[in-house]
Amino acid sequence: MIDLYALTSPNVQKIYIMLEETKLPYTEHFVDVWKGDQYSPDFIKINPNSKIPAIVDHEGPGGKPYTVVESGAILMYLAEKTGKFLPKDMAKKYDVLQWMMFQMTGVGPNFGQLFHFKMYAPKDKDTSYSMARHQTEVKRLYEVMEKRLAQGSYLGGDEYSIADIATFPWTRMHDMQGVKWEDNPNLARWFKSIDERPAVKAALAKVGAIKSNRDTASDDQKDRFFNRGHYARA
Ligand SMILES: N[C@@H](CCC(=O)N[C@@H](CS)C(=O)NCC(=O)O)C(=O)O
């Protein structure tokens, strides 16, 4: 049995998709980051970085419980545990891993910052420089993916893999990121093929049913989450 520490964000959606795809049994534990649950002493024992997703695999290496944090590491762990969605052949494996890292280091941080500035930046501050910088990088990253997907069916090669599982949830917001599928036929084809997978549908249905404090968070809870106001270190 796997304990999944989760809420609704794209990094968590990756792990729901992987668990549904691999059919591993799991129990959900909701960490409402909009309430500050990530700072509870019990959760800090699981992830000292106070972020979700995290998993505890009660049948880990050597039959002992094993904790994994960081969505990319969790995907690699579950792929290795099940032998699925990460090829064994070294070149094919590193094709997948480098495109998963492209998501972890490029897509995730930049898409996340753009979302933050669009949704949560103080309205009385001039954020035009930051918005333009992140918007440009998001569009540039989509251009790279569109070209990549013109060469093969999936990001990591011919087979669906953890590179696609890592990236798909972040592209669900392409409209609000200013990117249209009509202008990106390869991304559109790739997105549809993943969106139609039964495991992906099951994962997103579970995520859709989760209730969080997002829409009712107080100003102080938002400041704490975003490390601003009197939580700022600078
Ligand atoms: N690099 C981490 C990022 C995880 C992350 O940023 N999680 C967010 C939700 S998507 C979170 O837990 N935020 C709580 C906080 O920053 O206090 C991963 O890929 O797992």
Rounded to whole angstroms, the Cα distance separating 112 from 128 reads 16
B/e letters for 208-222, b = 16+ CB within 10 Å, e = fewer, are eeeebbbeebeeebe
Pocket test for ligand 1, best of 14, 52, 210 (most atoms within 8 A of CB): 52
Quote the ligand 1 centre to 51 CA distance (angstroms). 4
In this predicted model, what pLDDT tens digit does every residue of 115-156 receive, in sequence order? 999 999 999 999 999 999 999 999 999 999 999 999 999 999
Closest ligand 1 atom to 72 CA = 19
Q: What percent of the chain has a predicted confidence (pLDDT) above 70?
A: 100
Residue nearest to atom 17 of ligand 1 (CA): 225
Counting from 1 in the atom list of ligand 1, the atom nearest the Cα of 7 is 9
What would the two tokens of residue 198 be? Answer: 């039964």
Atom from ligand 1 closest to the CA of residue 104: 19
- pLDDT, tens digit, for every residue of 4-32? 999 999 999 999 999 999 999 999 999 99
Q: List, in order of start, the domains of the chain with CATH numbers.
A: 2-84+204-231 (3.40.30.10), 90-196 (1.20.1050.10)
Ligand 1 center from residue 37 Cα (angstroms): 13
- Confidence label for 35 from pLDDT (cuts 50, 70 and 90): very high
CA of 63 to the centre of ligand 1 (A): 28
- Token code pair at residue 95: 């094709």
Query: Which atom of ligand 1 is the closest one to the Cα of 52?
Result: 12
CA 160 to chain centre: 17
Lining residues, ligand 1, CB within 6 Å? 9, 11, 33, 38, 50-53, 70-71, 225
Q: How many Å lie between the centroid of ligand 1 and the Cα of residue 163?
A: 18
Q: Do the Cβ atoms of 109 and 101 come closer than 8 Å?
A: no
Residue closest to 186 by CA, chosen among 152, 157, 210: 152
Sheet holding 2-6, edge to edge: 26-30, 2-6, 54-57, 66-69
Residue 62 pLDDT: 97
**Which residue is associated with the tokens 């002493």?**
41
pLDDT digits (tens, 9 = 90+) for 160-184: 999 999 999 999 999 999 999 999 9
Report pLDDT for 120: 94
Could you give the CA distance from residue 21 to residue 24 in angstroms, rounded to a whole number?
Answer: 8
CA nearest ligand 1 atom 12, residue? 51
